[in-house]
Amino acid sequence: VTDEVVYLDHAATSPVRPEVVEAYAEALGHTGNASSLHAAGRAARRVVEEAREQVAELLGARPSEVVLTSGGTEADNLAVKGIFWARRAQDPEHRRIAVSSVEHHAVLDPAFWMAEHAGAEMSLLGVDGDGRLDVAAAREELDAHGSRTALVSVMWANNEVGTVQPLDDVVAAAHRHWVPVHSDAVQAVGVLDVDFGASRLDAMTVTAHKLGGPVGVGALLARRELGIVPLTHGGGQERGIRSGTVDAAGAHAFAVALGLAVQEREETAARLAVLRDTLVAGVLARVPGAHLRGPVPGIPESAREARLPGNAHFTFEGCEGDSLLFLLDSAGVCASTGSACQAGVPQPSHVLVAMGVDEVDARGALRFSLGPTSQEADVARLLQVLPGIVSRARDAGLSSTPARRAAG
Ligand X SMILES: Cc1ncc(COP(=O)(O)O)c(C=O)c1O
Active site residues: 341
List b or e across 216-237, with b for residues whose CB sees 16 or more CB atoms inside 10 angstroms: bbbbbbbbeebebebbeeeeeb
By C-beta, is 186 or 370 nearer to ligand X? 186
Taking CB under 6 A as the criterion, the residue among 32, 71, 131, 166 binding ligand X is 71
Residue nearest to ligand X (CB): 72
Least separation in angstroms between residue 79's CB and ligand X is: 11
Taking CB under 6 A as the criterion, the residue among 125, 186, 246, 389 binding ligand X is 186
Q: Which of residues 208-227 bind ligand X (CB under 6 A)?
A: 209, 218
Least separation in angstroms between residue 41's CB and ligand X is: 27
By C-beta, is 70 or 391 nearer to ligand X? 70
Pairwise CA distance, residues 75 & 211, whole Å: 16
Pairwise CA distance, residues 393 & 400, whole Å: 10
Taking CB under 6 A as the criterion, the residue among 153, 159, 165, 369 binding ligand X is 159
Taking CB under 6 A as the criterion, the residue among 187, 268, 311, 369 binding ligand X is 187
Pairwise CA distance, residues 323 & 325, whole Å: 5
Please measure the distance between the N-terminal and C-terminal CA atoms of the chain and give it in whole angstroms: 39
Least separation in angstroms between residue 347's CB and ligand X is: 16
| 108 near ligand X, rule: CB under 6 A | no
By C-beta, is 72 or 259 nearer to ligand X? 72
Taking CB under 6 A as the criterion, the residue among 9, 65, 141, 184 binding ligand X is 184
Least separation in angstroms between residue 103's CB and ligand X is: 8
By C-beta, is 187 or 311 nearer to ligand X? 187
Taking CB under 6 A as the criterion, the residue among 72, 250, 294, 364 binding ligand X is 72
Q: What are phi and psi of 41, to 5 degrees?
A: -65, -40
| 194 near ligand X, rule: CB under 6 A | no
| 104 near ligand X, rule: CB under 6 A | yes
| 207 near ligand X, rule: CB under 6 A | yes
Taking CB under 6 A as the criterion, the residue among 14, 54, 73, 237 binding ligand X is 73
Least separation in angstroms between residue 13's CB and ligand X is: 7
Q: Considering only 50-58, 69-77, 302-310, 341-349, which stretch makes contact with ligand X by CB under 6 A?
A: 69-77
Question: By CB under 6 A, how many residues form the interface with ligand X?
Answer: 14
| 323 near ligand X, rule: CB under 6 A | no
Which residues touch 116 (CB under 8 Å, ≥6 apart)? none
Least separation in angstroms between residue 351's CB and ligand X is: 11
Q: Considering only 65-73, 167-175, 223-231, 357-365, which stretch makes contact with ligand X by CB under 6 A?
A: 65-73
Q: Considering only 183-191, 267-275, 289-297, 346-354, which stretch makes contact with ligand X by CB under 6 A?
A: 183-191
Which residues touch 318 (CB under 8 Å, ≥6 apart)? 289, 364, 394, 397, 398, 401
| 307 near ligand X, rule: CB under 6 A | no
Chain residues binding ligand X by CB under 6 A are 71-73, 76, 104, 106, 155, 159, 184, 186-187, 207, 209, 218
